[in-house]
Amino acid sequence: MKKMIYSLVVIAILILTSGCNLLKFFPVEIDYEYLGTDYESLWPDRDMVEYYDTLEEAVANNDMEICNISHIDEIVRLFQDDKNAILFFKSNWDGKDGLWVYRLYKKEKNGETIYSAPFAGIDILWETHKYFTEFSKLDEIGEVRMCIVLYSDEYLFGIDNTKRFFYGLSQTEKISSLKIEEQLVTEVIPVEFNGEIGYFWYINDLQTSKSSEFRDLRRHLEGEMNVTMD
């Protein structure tokens, strides 16, 4: 986790000095290297892993080295299909609340749904997220661009890798009016972090081929997705 926080500070500096193209190396789990969108070849064999009766038990058996929180304080959103689950949940590290995102396998056994331990994940501490936004002098739109660049790997944490899925955290209620390429945010969920209200948002199946690799978090550039919040 300390490595994660250090990485966030380094990335914030890169935002100000080098442009966002360098941010694609932000660490998203952690037991393997970033390899574009070819993640699945590095995931464990779904038939060789142990499964558990509940999400809470599955997360409790997390053995990832860095993204290693193993308790759920609140399930924020669960996406799942017949074989996979993406879990967004609130937890706490060293007194600091945040949002964790875990990918797990799932299957049916004797009519019940069971889950593997998580094998890919990312954590977003609320305090670090706020610092990051302030340090980089970002407005509400810039905060959304930052989330897309840093947290929102559309293929790793989307349940359907044929669809463009983006998510993030926001400090403003105005996030309910967020549009990307004129497509309205799918859902906004308030979450309390250390006594403050933050907003988890996501857009499912974004219908655009424009780039999400923003070169400048502070302004819209040609060829990039247009982010608005009216």
7-38 per-position pLDDT tens digit: 444 444 444 433 333 333 333 333 333 334 56
For 226, list phi and psi in degrees, rounded to 5: -90, 125
Dump pLDDT digits (tens) for 113-158. Answer: 999 999 999 999 999 999 989 998 999 999 999 999 888 876 678 8
pTM > 0.75: yes or no: yes
**Is residue 165's pLDDT more than 80?**
yes
Helix or strand holding residue 96 (H, E) = strand 96-109
Best CA proximity match to 100, nearest among 24, 190, 200:
200
Q: At what angle do helices 126-135 and 2-17 cross, to 10 degrees?
A: 20
**Is residue 47's pLDDT more than 50?**
yes
What sign does the dihedral 177-180-184-188 (CA atoms) show? negative
- Residue that has been written with the tokens 């914030």 in this structure: 12
What sign does the dihedral 172-177-179-183 (CA atoms) show? positive
